[in-house]
Structure 1
Amino acid sequence: MNSGLVVVDKPAGWTSHDVVAKLRRLAGTRRVGHAGTLDPMATGVLVIGVDKATRLLGHLALTEKVYDATIRLGQSTDTDDAEGEIVASGSAGAVGDDALREGIAALTGEIQQVPPQVSAIKVDGKRAYKMARAGEEVALRARPVTVREFAVSDVRRHGDLVDVDASITCSSGTYIRSLARDLGRSLGTGGHLTALRRTRVGPYGLGMARTVERLTEEFEVLPMGEAVSVAFPRRDVSPDDARRIAHGGRLPAAGLGPGPIGVFAPDGTLLALVEETGSVAKPLAVFV
């Protein structure tokens, strides 16, 4: 099996681990992992690494993500999404468009965000969701995240409930469930997420994604060199520099930014990912 990435359109009801387990069987290798977890309720882009490409995943997980979301105002749940139990209700019928715009504006840009109680974040070595489900109160700290765009496409009103459809572009580590919760909280109505579809992870969008059914019929892998060229700046080097980087050596910086940067041999083979620090380019991962 060739090393590379598989961009999956995750179905609803599957965990990210379910997808990894399925692709391990299809790829015939245990070396399969994913970049950026999607909750079971969510659908859309899940980037999977096969074999050597698992070493790319940590770098890809840090890239920008885009989601299509539906937020329901007027109800709060214990998970901040539709999978949880409703714990509070407050009529959103009187929420006007101006108040909605102001609430969304306050959640756009560089913000401090408290993750959901039911999340995979570790507190004192234990997963927050396990503590929450055991009835423990989890004290999660606010973290800096960036919401670059929070664009509303539709508002649907049903008596005391208001459903808001939005496209959200954000940094890694942003919880869309928390945005739903915080929007509802700021408007005094409560809020939770009822639908979520990830449409892009870094440069990998739905146009490149394949359903599990299609992958079962034809298992397609995006070769590592192509995957890196799409995601990161590319540097082609001489035979001498190729030998140096293949043995973990450093190169002079080429002014391509901090990194990661893909380094390619004269024949087009991916050699490594490097980062530039001052006047040198240091390997982050060597693939040959």
Structure 2
Amino acid sequence: MNASRTALVTGANQGLGRALVEGLAARMTPADLVLLTGRDPERVGLAAEEVARLPGTRARVEGRVLDVTDTAAIARLAAELEERHGGVDVVLSNAVARVLPDESQAERADEFIDVSNTATHAVLRAFGPVLRPGGRLLVVASGLGTLGHLDPRLHPLFDGVGLDQVEQAVESWRAAVHQGTATEAGWPVWLNVPSKVAQVAAVRAVAAERRARDLASGTLVAAVCPGMVDTATSRPWFSDYSQAQTPARAAEAVLDLVFAEGADPALYGRLVRFGEVLPWYGGSPLTEQDRMVRP
């Protein structure tokens, strides 16, 4: 990586995003800059100040208001970082919309898709071109992001396609939810499944185009699964939290990818959990009971 590096984390006010910022700030140098981003100006400012004051913090930490549902704002920030810093070295796309088990999945679909998917597409499009050699562009997904978790009828929408096609598939899913035809078409009721599959498919699409030059320069583009994490967003969905990790612990494996030497070809463009690749075609469609107990 460059002598002076710039890192960016989305959805970083709390939980895993906050832990990722803390870990970056501790492992990077005083010459480096870590941008903690989120939608709420007060929360962003307070979180950045708190991380900057931590005893282990070494890098500069700045708060930056960024609504990831505003794709133009994502593009502007990428352009700004290219102009001011010559690009960016680490981008961790982590933002997620909070949905509770007793809420209507259909009624929350637009917000969920905008935050988890439309934003992921925008981050990949905007920051991919300004990612400096040796950089890291990682999208936080989950173990549900493997193709086997979808009805086989939907597999062609996400398998071996480009980013434009992934985007079209996501919008067809959104339309089916609004039209009341999603279940008939094979889409799961639980938004998290197609959303995570689409995130991983988007990463795979971008990585397929960049692979040769990225590996030559030690650059890594991948999706990551942090495992079960004890956060306000995830806790309502699990009946047993005995094996859950703290956000700080979950961040460690992601940060190990960030600071690993070079880029492992076996991990490039894949969904990685604790340093191991999760098979793209693995998994099986979930039952209603499954969705209450699985990460």
Higher helix proportion (structure 1 or 2): 2
Q: Which has the larger radius of gyration?
A: 1
Q: Which has the higher contact order (CA 8 A, sep 6+)?
A: 1
* TM-score, reference length from structure 1: 0.26
* TM-score, reference length from structure 2: 0.26
Higher strand proportion (structure 1 or 2): 1
